[in-house]
Amino acid sequence: MGKTGLVYHPAYLEHDMGAGHPESPNRLRAILQRLEESGTTARLVRIEPRKAEDEWITQVHTPNYLAALSRQAPASGRVCIHKFLERVTRVQQS
């Protein structure tokens, strides 16, 4: 039987999309707690996260999408992804 990996870094807890969004630090904490309590964590292979290279990202996204995302990424805070995706989609269809 194969092994199951766990990619995790404490910085993931800083990813907070606001109240009511499913991607929340509390959800991640609950998952990690349950993995610990059940003994599952001990059976997982820990994988250190690494920065995704552009070549890897463009296997599932277009280079135009990646470039647009890079231009729109704020230095801090949040960006409204729905408006961003609308603009990128229009650009890609042109």
**Residue 29: count of CB within 10 angstroms of its CB:** 11
Per-residue confidence (pLDDT) for residue 91, from 0 to 100 = 43
Q: Which pair of structure tokens corresponds to residue 82?
A: 């729905």
pLDDT for 36: 97
Question: Tens-digit pLDDT profile for the chain (94 aa)?
Answer: 779 999 999 999 988 878 888 889 999 999 999 999 999 999 999 999 999 899 999 999 889 888 888 887 777 766 666 665 655 444 444 3
Range of the domain at 17: 1-50
- Do 30 and 69 have their domain in common? no
Question: 59 and 46 in one domain?
Answer: no
pLDDT at 19: 83
Same domain, 70 and 38: no
- The predicted structure's pLDDT at residue 69: 80
DSSP letter, residue 21: -
**Dist. CA 61–CA 46, nearest whole Å:** 27
